[in-house]
Structure 1
Amino acid sequence: MSKKILIVEDEADLAQILAEYLQRDGFVATTIADGLVAMAELQRAPPDLLLLDLMLPGMDGISILRELRRSSALPVIMVTARSEEIDRLLGLELGADDYVCKPYSPREVVARVKSVLRRAQPAASPPAMPTVGGRPLEIDRDARQARVAGKSLELTPKEFRLLQVLAARPGRVFSRAQLLDAIYEDQFDVSERAIDSHLKNLRRKLAQAFPDDEPIRSIYGVGFAFES
């Protein structure tokens, strides 16, 4: 059965081009130009994947994604003209599966759709909880507490936020700039090297609790990744 793709895009020409390219590859593509209308359609008849523009009339893309993620793991690719790293990070933290920035190649978007659908194929089980040395890592956002195998880690707010961002996407490499965007609301006069200081303290606290494990990996010249 053909996969159903919902395109939520208020630029009619772009939406139509995307729909045509997807249809050529065997998908069933529907377009909606208004965020509120899209939200109602998602609740009524969820597609197999959502192509979601960031800036929309009625209800913006981030609000739609936030609402959607309260009850659904539907694959979502954000499509936007806003390429700032904070927007990318915010979208991915909220649960977007991928990002495409305008201007883009429709063929690239189709390739991304296929890739995300392949990754979502074994949808029988929820994402695995991140671990430290095989022990489950629990991150309580409301209480701002992190525990490994039930043992609490005494973290500062910045260290907690840093661990939260890294552990939310194990294996993904984050640059210093991306991590800086994630943990500082106001970056005025904040050096990227501040991340090194927070990471050093976070690693030290993890090592004190679990001396045989080093879950935060440095990738020379690129950034840092959390390894479960």
Structure 2
Amino acid sequence: MIKIAMIEDDLELASVLCQYLKQFNIEVTNYEEPYLALSALKVNKYDLIILDLTLPGMDGLDVCKAIVKDFDIPIIISSARSDITDKVTALKMGADDYLPKPYDPRELEVRIKTILRRFNHSNAQEEPKNKTFVLDEKKKEITKNGKYIKLTAAEFEVLSLLIKREGFVISREDIFENSDILNQDYESSGSLAVIINRIRHKIEDDSKETQYLHTIRGMGYKFIQ
């Protein structure tokens, strides 16, 4: 599922867009207050941001600047401002697209997927630097210090998700939601914990001294390298 943070003080518009995008497997969390949104970005993982420019307490261009400075995440500006200067400024700051209001929600959905396709492809092309673990999604391989790690399909799916969201806490629910293999049977039987333990034995230098794959009690798992 694609997860999006929307920063929009027009709650009626936000509700319409949230409901429309949901049918395309796009989950939108709207923040009316920009400061609340910036705080949420520090603890939650989102794939893209939809940002209005006219916001309470903080101008949207300043929000855009703050996001670009601290986060590597694509931004679509959604604004009723017609001034070309705002559009040019936002794009120069690092916004990926500018969609003037009013617009058809279908256009927003297409732009979201187009930008994410380009963004994810660009990231996949970048050579990871000084990384112990490297994920190659095309080959379905994960290496540690250049050496191939032999994993089952379920182990690969879980570890690849953790690597892609490195540094963030991933809940059990997130793992199941983003899995094509795991299902509720795994959850009820405790097999996810078994898979995590098997992964630890394969990636940790000492499975009793966790260095990379950490359990965050009551929250989920976090991968750090």
TM-score by length of 2: 0.53
**Contact conserved, 1:7 with 1:19, CA < 8 A, in 2?**
no
Distance in structure 1 (CA, Å) of the matches to 2:4 and 2:116: 10
User: Is 1:20 equivalent to 2:16 in the alignment?
Assistant: no
Per-residue CA deviation, residues 94-139 of structure 1 (Å, 9 max, x unaligned), is 000001111111111111111111111121456xxxxxxxxxxxxx
Distance in structure 1 (CA, Å) of the matches to 2:109 and 2:93: 23
Matches within 5 A, 1:152-171: none
Distance in structure 2 (CA, Å) of the matches to 1:104 and 1:33: 20
Specify the SS of the correspondent of 2:73.
Answer: coil
Matches within 5 A, 1:116-131: 116-122=115-121, 123-124=123-124
Quote the offset at 1:59 in angstroms: 2.1
Distance in structure 2 (CA, Å) of the matches to 1:38 and 1:60: 13
Give the letter aligned to residue 112 of structure 2: V
Distance in structure 1 (CA, Å) of the matches to 2:29 and 2:106: 17
RMSD across aligned C-alpha pairs, in angstroms?
Answer: 1.3
Percent identity, aligned pairs only, is 38
Distance in structure 2 (CA, Å) of the matches to 1:124 and 1:71: 20
> For residue 70 of structure 1, what is the aligned residue in structure 2?
69
TM-score by length of 1: 0.53
Q: Tell me, which stretches of 5 or more residues in structure 2 are unaligned?
A: 127-225
> For residue 201 of structure 1, what is the aligned residue in structure 2?
none
Distance in structure 2 (CA, Å) of the matches to 1:109 and 1:102: 11
Distance in structure 2 (CA, Å) of the matches to 1:108 and 1:51: 13
Give the letter aligned to residue 56 of structure 1: L
Give structure 1 regions of 4+ aligned residues with deviation exceeding 4 angstroms: none
> For residue 85 of structure 1, what is the aligned residue in structure 2?
84
> For residue 184 of structure 1, what is the aligned residue in structure 2?
none
> For residue 32 of structure 2, what is the aligned residue in structure 1?
33
**Contact conserved, 1:82 with 1:101, CA < 8 A, in 2?**
yes
Specify the SS of the correspondent of 1:46.
Answer: coil
Distance in structure 1 (CA, Å) of the matches to 2:17 and 2:59: 20
Aligned length: 125
Distance in structure 2 (CA, Å) of the matches to 1:72 and 1:125: 19
Specify the SS of the correspondent of 2:76.
Answer: strand
